[in-house]
């Protein structure tokens, strides 16, 4: 069994026919058929079933195809890694960002990555903090930006920002100004996300510690649903600064007495060490987060990296 034969099997499975695979692989069809025949003879099993309109994988062929895809991807990633060590990072990098901050982060990440690392094939997925955390734990992404890294298992977390939560609303309050006490914020009619969100759990934790009851009138699963109720004046919300910045910046008030803070980290699975390309993207994303905090577009304080941080 050779790597060439595995690549040919992948080409046939994905093209659906010998003729199309031969064209895609730039090989004569008889030579392609001969290589697959040799592979089937060595394994003593049929891998492909010929049909009038092409070929399909047998059960054994489907299993070998899955293994072959994994092997080829790993070998190709090693090649990318070796090229990357010359200072030109290459390869695929997948990252997760919180949906609440995606409007703020996505354009910055994509534009800067395109400019600085054209050899990186970047994939960015946004979702709820719980979804991002699960993707990191399972190694489905290289790394992610998450506020709940302390809840994840088998994950290495690098704190980047300590962010402050804010109150957004158009409902009447007893006091005015740039700040609002947590007790007053909790007493206003609130719309919050579900408890599976780290933000909701963090706010409830502080309320419990302070002996304060949250006046949660509505629960919504989307930022659009929350923003519609806030815009209408039916409720206020407590959230991070990037989440609703565009809609509610004039109505934002920082929560005090006590302030509600949480750590935003870059996290990745200990079972999926960062490649050179992923490390470059990790550093780029960290710098973006710090720049956003320093410019005031993300209310938070940068955390100085540990001297023992490994690349």
* Nearest partner of 244 among 104, 97, 148, judged by Cα: 104
Statement to judge: residues 155 and 279 lie in one domain: yes
* Nearest partner of 194 among 169, 224, 164, 218, judged by Cα: 218
Strand 261-269 versus strand 155-168 pairing type:
antiparallel
- Is residue 297 in some structural domain? yes
- Is residue 12 in some structural domain? yes
- The helix, strand and coil proportions of the chain, stated in percent and rounded to the nearest 5, come to 45, 25, 30
pLDDT of residue 302: 92
Statement to judge: residues 62 and 197 lie in one domain: no
Q: What phi-psi label fits residue 104: left (phi over 0), alpha (psi between -120 and 50 degrees) or beta?
A: alpha
Tens-level pLDDT at each residue, the chain (311 residues): 888 888 888 888 888 888 888 888 888 988 988 988 998 899 888 989 888 778 888 899 888 988 888 787 777 666 666 665 666 788 889 999 987 788 889 999 999 999 999 989 999 988 666 677 888 888 889 999 998 888 888 899 999 999 989 898 888 888 888 899 999 999 999 999 888 888 899 999 999 999 999 999 999 988 788 888 988 899 999 988 766 555 555 578 889 999 999 999 999 988 878 888 898 999 999 999 999 989 888 888 898 765 444 44
Question: What is this structure's pTM?
Answer: 0.67
- Is residue 255 in some structural domain? yes
Which domain does 22 fall in, by range? 3-84
Statement to judge: residues 62 and 106 lie in one domain: no
Query: Using an 8 Å Cβ cutoff, are 97 and 145 in contact?
Result: yes
Statement to judge: residues 148 and 280 lie in one domain: yes
């Amino acid at each position: 069994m050779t790597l060439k034969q595995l690549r040919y099997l992948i080409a046939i499975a994905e093209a659906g026919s010998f003729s199309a695979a031969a064209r895609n692989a730039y090989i004569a069809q008889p030579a392609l058929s001969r290589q697959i025949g040799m592979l089937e003879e060595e394994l003593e099993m049929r891998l492909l079933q010929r049909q009038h309109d092409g070929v399909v994988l047998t059960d054994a062929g489907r299993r070998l195809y899955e293994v072959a895809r994994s092997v080829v991807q790993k070998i190709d990633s090693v090649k990318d890694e070796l090229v990357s060590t010359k200072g030109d990072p290459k390869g695929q990098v997948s990252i997760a960002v919180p949906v609440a901050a995606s409007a703020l982060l996505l354009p910055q990440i994509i534009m800067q990555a395109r400019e600085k690392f054209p050899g990186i094939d970047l994939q960015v997925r946004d979702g709820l903090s719980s979804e991002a955390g699960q993707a990191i734990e399972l190694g489905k992404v290289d790394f992610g930006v998450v506020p709940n890294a302390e809840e994840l298992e088998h994950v290495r977390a690098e704190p980047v920002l300590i962010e402050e939560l804010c109150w957004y609303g158009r409902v009447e309050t007893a006091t005015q100004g740039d700040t609002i006490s947590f007790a007053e914020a909790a007493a206003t009619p609130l719309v919050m996300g579900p408890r599976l969100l780290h933000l909701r759990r963090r706010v409830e934790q502080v309320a419990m510690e302070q002996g304060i009851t949250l006046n949660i009138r509505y629960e919504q699963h989307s930022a659009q649903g929350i923003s519609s109720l806030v815009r209408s004046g039916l409720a206020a919300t407590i959230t991070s600064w990037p989440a609703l910045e565009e809609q509610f910046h004039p109505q934002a008030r920082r929560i005090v007495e006590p302030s509600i803070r949480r750590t935003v980290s870059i996290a990745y699975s200990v079972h999926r060490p960062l490649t050179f390309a992923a490390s470059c993207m990790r550093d780029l994303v960290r710098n973006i987060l710090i720049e956003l905090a320093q410019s005031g577009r993300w209310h938070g304080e940068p955390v100085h990296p540990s001297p023992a941080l490994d690349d």
